[in-house]
Amino acid sequence: MFRSAVVRSLRTSLPRAVRTPAPFQIRSSAAVRPSQFAARLAFPAVRCYSAPAGLAKDEVEGRIVNLLKNFDKVNDASAITGSSHFSNDLGLDSLDTVEVVMAIEEEFSIEIPDKEADAIHSVNQAVEYILSQPDAH
């Protein structure tokens, strides 16, 4: 009882702050018009960007040719062109071809499924596969 009397006396002795309603409060007694909230619900301008352009065919072919030139099991690095076949022109066996496909996966940061990796036997086929992948970079 003594405590509540002290609290009441302190409340009366302190100056009261003027309370103004917050601008986002809705008063139940006043009629609400939709135009009152139009400015508060507006969204700031948002700039949208498109996805980056895909890789160019020349760039993909150049990266694959450079990868093959640095591959130590290639017989003749000067014979590597855009139409080189891995086994016929470069002398790679099936295991080497798998290693080349894995190196291509790392180069372009993609994952090539085994079924599709078995179909890649030349630089042209690798280039066409990379160009068909939208997430290759």
Active site residue ranges: 93
Name 85's bridge partners: 122
Question: What b/e sequence results for 55-92 when a residue is b if at least 16 CB atoms lie within 10 Å of its CB, and e otherwise?
Answer: beeeebbebbbebbeebeebeeeeebeeebebeebbeb
Q: Quick one: which of 11, 10, 40 has its CA closest to 24?
A: 40
Round to the nearest angstrom and report the end-to-end CA distance of the chain: 76
To the nearest 10°, the Cα dihedral for 96, 102, 108, 110? 150
What letter does residue 30 receive in the DSSP assignment?
A: S
